[in-house]
Amino acid sequence: MISLTRPLLSKLLLPAGVTVALALAVAQPATAQTTAMSFFVTSQGIGKGGDLGGLDGADRHCQNTAATVGAGTKTWHAYLSTPATDGKPAVNARDRIGKGPWQNAKGVVIAKDVAELHGTNNINKQTALTENGEQVNGYGDQPNRHDILTGSQPDGTAFSGPDDRTCKNYTSSTQGAVMLGHSDISGPATNPSVKSWNAAHPSRGPDGGCSQADLKSTGGDGLLYCFAVN
């Protein structure tokens, strides 16, 4: 592709309006399409399995990832829930992501509010895009990366009971398991919750469910849903 510099543009034998339009196009930053983005799937995980450094570490990963595409001026939170532990109340993913509406890097609205997000939303393989506006590999792709960490029930609330669904509140890569959603709402027909974007199945694997290898073996890569709360 030929890069058009300002001197070259000034020499082109084009009408004035066209020359100005071309100049503006050349000057337009590559991240302009993401300025209105308020939802994305991280293109990369932290790399430590279910150990995200807690909710704070997960939020920081969302914030830093958004900043790489010029969207760091917003406040970003990871869509994650944690159960009540050690005298601390449960944290529900649905309560920490703002009120909506949310749109992806291409400007497509995935939900207008919290109720629609947990009802008839617009999350699928074509809309659950990364911060770069790219699709996430889904069921049938190699490698499959559609398992997104949520630690949540279908309504966006935390689990109760003895089973760990958050890898020790996102601090362990060796103990427990984590609930995963399918960003492409697709998977094997034997899984009754295959079309759930936030509660398809818990992680599993030879190490138990929270190592990076475990997350990859079940069809993921430690990716997160990130929402702008403001």
Is a pLDDT exceeding 80 seen at residue 13?
Answer: no
Question: What three-state secondary structure class fits 206?
Answer: coil
Task: Give the mean model confidence (pLDDT) for residues 121-132.
Answer: 98
Q: 30 falls in which pLDDT band (50, 70, 90)?
A: very low
In a domain, 14, yes or no: no
Higher pLDDT, 30 or 133: 133
Residue at 5 is within a domain: no
- Asked if residue 26 has pLDDT above 60, the reply is no
Residue 18 lies in a domain: no
Residues 179-189 have a mean pLDDT of 96
Here the tokens at position 35 are: 């300025």
> Does residue 102 lie within any of the structural domains?
yes
Residue type, 144: N
Tell me the per-residue pLDDT of 59-91, one tens digit each, with 9 for 90 and over: 999 999 999 999 999 999 999 999 999 889 999
Residue 221 is assigned to a structural domain of this protein: yes
Q: Reply yes or no on whether the pLDDT at 56 is more than 70.
A: yes
Answer yes or no: is 12 within a domain.
no
Q: Would you state the pLDDT for residue 34?
A: 66
What's the full length of the chain, in residues? 230
Among 71, 209, 70, 85, CA closest to 149: 209
On the question of pLDDT at 196 being above 50, the answer is yes
Q: Which of 57, 59, 86 is nearest to 75 (CA)?
A: 59
* Mean pLDDT on 172-199: 96
What is the Cα 44 distance to its own chain's centre?
9
Look at residue 25 and tell me whether its pLDDT is greater than 70.
no
What CATH number is given to the structural domain containing 39?
3.10.100.10
Residue-level pLDDT at 166: 98
**What would the mean pLDDT of 16-36 be, rounded to a whole number?**
47
What is the model's pTM? 0.86
Question: What was the pLDDT predicted at 108?
Answer: 98
Q: Are 226 and 76 in contact (CB under 8 A)?
A: yes
Look at residue 31 in the predicted model and tell me its pLDDT. 52
Residue 137: half-sphere exposure toward Cβ, Cα within 13 Å: 13
Cβ neighbors of 147 (< 8 A, separation 6 or more) are 180, 181, 182, 200, 203, 215, 218, 219, 220, 221, 223
With cut-offs at 50, 70 and 90, classify the pLDDT of residue 19.
Answer: very low
Indicate the average pLDDT of the chain: 89
Q: Does 139 fall in a domain?
A: yes
Question: Residue 185: which domain range?
Answer: 35-228
Return d(Cα 129, Cα 103) in angstroms, integer.
Answer: 10
pLDDT grade, residue 206 (50/70/90)?
confident
Q: With respect to residue 134, please indicate whether it lies within any of the assigned structural domains.
A: yes
Residue with tokens 């997160």: 224
Mean pLDDT of 17-45: 63
> Which H helix or E strand runs over 202?
strand 201-202
Rounded Cα distance, 225 and 200, in Å? 14
DSSP secondary structure, 80-136, as one string? --B--BTTBPPB-GGGSS-S--EE-TTS-EEESSHHHHTSS---STTTS-BTTS-PP
Question: DSSP assignment, residue 152?
Answer: B
Q: What is the pLDDT of residue 102?
A: 98
Mean pLDDT of 147-166: 97
Q: What is the pLDDT of residue 7?
A: 42
Overall number of domains in the chain: 1
